[in-house]
Amino acid sequence: MRLSTYFLPVLKETPNEAQIVSHRLMLRAGMIRQSSAGIYSWLPLGLRVLRKIEGIVREEQDRAGAQELLMPTIQSAELWQESGRYDAYGPEMLRIRDRHDREMLYGPTNEEQITEIFRGLARSYRDVPKILYHIQWKFRDEIRPRFGVMRGREFLMKDSYSFDTTADGARRAYYKMFVAYLRTFARLGLKAIPMRADTGPIGGDLSHEFIILAETGESQVFCHKSFLEKDPLALGLDYAADLKPVFDDWTHDYAATEEMHDAAKAAALGDDLVTARGIEVGHIFYFGTKYSKPMGATVAGPDGQPVTLEMGSYGIGVSRLVGAIIEACHDDNGIVWPESVAPFKVGLVNLKSGDAETDGMCEKLYAELTAAGVEVLYDDRDERAGSKFATMDLLGLPYQLVVGPKGLKDGVVEIKARAGGDRETLSPEAAIARLTA
RNA sequence: CGGGGUGUAGCUCAGCCUGGUAGAGCGUCGGCUUUGGGAGCCGAAAGUCGUAGGUUCGAAUCCUAUCACCCCGACCA
């Protein structure tokens, strides 16, 4: 992509309404535009990141055996009356009437919807276990939206739902999602810590929040320092195996949010206690028959008798993650994207647009890298070098490939790693080899 | 919802107290000179001062209402 033609409205100054760093940087980097309180448009650069995150979330769900479908954003009130949540949910749910005066709602979550689908189409115990998920926009009319996309009213969520006929089966599904979440957040470049959670209005008796540590996090969290050294990607990947040992390994050390905090247990850790700020990016629940029972979601058991389904639900805040990643990955000059979610891998900086030799080398590098499948944002604008460096640092692409007349005189270009700032001077051929490696 | 705050040019803000018909910097557009960490000079475009009433000869400025947005609290992916 050429910056001269890209719709990337970069701001030099920080808009007044943005208070936290991720919101400021997203606005300055031209990723989003606010539409109204807690509702945002995603501009091209922001959308690229959102899609990358979505892709990783999807891959890990699929790998764990979950199957993607897509449910509507607009739901009928009837289902929610069946589960009893239509009244319980309160004003946070956006209620709508259609032209026939039928009560509808914009879905804040989809337990009822998926339960309706499953009860209507699954007949036998042979139809389980299943984990179904979708990645869909939600609307919750939050009392106070804030922090940009971190707590929007409209947000993109990955929500999975598991169906089993036994509590044991449901726990196996829970463990699968637990492991999938560990892997997902690790791939996103985040240190996510599972913490025992309150089940809240969704209900149930087993629940974990996945919290990432960031100085600007919303809530106080406490955990054993062992979590900081664990690497989920080092785990084996056998979802058919018994995952309870993995679950136990990740839950036996102390980790809690403020609400679930046990001061005595924490104090017992002594120097091993880490106190930090955290952002909730995922939440998983095992809630048994909370919805299946009132909604009559059963399948025939081996003996022909109906069995009420055991369910769980598993959410990841996809759009929140864009902000959360920035909270965890930035410096004074701007965003520092983990490579897995960066909107482009390489920022090609032409230090002297209009200079035939520099232009020529940039075009060559741009063409060859692009042909090799590397995503390149080429700053071909007629701007001063300082301005281009500042823009690239703000955008936070992992590598800056800097091409200028001084270097070309010696036949070299420069690669700067955004994280850490290491610079390396090398030949154009070596640079291509390095960036396509 | 309770408490606090802000709405003036694309962005950041001044002007309001002490009414007299709108300014700066950045950005944008044009020109010249520059060119390895947000350049300099010259010129230009751009605002029914959130909206609606009211007071007044006259309102960005005073009064009333209303809307929007932001911050602190309870809630959440």
Q: What is the pLDDT along chain A (437 residues), one digit of tens a residue?
A: 999 999 999 998 888 788 889 999 999 999 999 888 899 999 999 999 999 999 999 999 999 999 999 999 999 999 999 998 898 888 889 999 898 999 999 999 999 999 999 999 999 999 999 999 999 999 999 888 888 999 999 999 999 999 999 999 999 999 999 999 999 999 999 999 999 887 665 555 689 999 998 887 888 889 999 999 999 999 878 999 999 999 999 999 999 888 888 888 888 999 999 988 889 999 999 999 999 999 999 999 999 999 999 999 999 999 999 999 999 999 999 999 999 999 999 999 999 999 999 999 999 999 999 999 999 999 999 999 999 999 999 999 999 999 999 999 999 999 999 999 999 999 999 999 999 98
The gap between A177 CA and B1 C1' (Å) is 37
The gap between A144 CA and B2 C1' (Å) is 13
Question: Nearest residue to B12 (CA, C1')?
Answer: A13
The pLDDT, as a whole number, for residue A24 is: 92
The nucleotide whose C1' lies nearest the CA of A324 is B77
Full-model pTM: 0.96
The gap between A69 CA and B68 C1' (Å) is 38
Within A295-402, residue ranges assigned H as helices are: 318-328, 356-371, 385-395
The gap between A384 CA and B61 C1' (Å) is 43
Question: Nearest residue to B71 (CA, C1')?
Answer: A19
The gap between A37 CA and B4 C1' (Å) is 18
Question: Nearest residue to B37 (CA, C1')?
Answer: A386
The pLDDT, as a whole number, for residue A202 is: 55
The gap between A342 CA and B44 C1' (Å) is 39
The pLDDT, as a whole number, for residue A204 is: 59
The pLDDT, as a whole number, for residue A201 is: 57
The gap between A28 CA and B23 C1' (Å) is 26
ipTM confidence: 0.91
The gap between A112 CA and B27 C1' (Å) is 50
Q: How far is CA A334 from the centre of its chain?
A: 20
The nucleotide whose C1' lies nearest the CA of A153 is B76
The gap between A36 CA and B52 C1' (Å) is 22
The pLDDT, as a whole number, for residue A225 is: 93
B strand bases under 7 Å from protein CB: 1-2, 6, 11-13, 25-27, 34-39, 68-77
The nucleotide whose C1' lies nearest the CA of A35 is B69
The pLDDT, as a whole number, for residue A361 is: 97
Question: Nearest residue to B36 (CA, C1')?
Answer: A385
The gap between A25 CA and B49 C1' (Å) is 29
Residue A50 corresponds to which tokens in the numbers above? 């959102």
Q: Do you know the residue count of chain A?
A: 437
Task: Please give the angle made by the CA atoms of A217, A221 and A225, to the nearest 5 degrees.
Answer: 115
The nucleotide whose C1' lies nearest the CA of A389 is B37
The pLDDT, as a whole number, for residue A199 is: 66
Q: How far apart are CA A368 and CA A374, in angstroms?
A: 9
The residues near A327 (Cβ < 8 Å, ≥ 6 apart) are A20, A21, A22, A150, A214, A215, A216, A217, A279
The nucleotide whose C1' lies nearest the CA of A403 is B36
The nucleotide whose C1' lies nearest the CA of A404 is B36
In angstroms, what CA-CA distances link A197 with A234, A282, A370?
A: 25, 11, 45
CA-nearest of A310, A111, A287 to A204 is A287
The nucleotide whose C1' lies nearest the CA of A37 is B69
The nucleotide whose C1' lies nearest the CA of A157 is B77
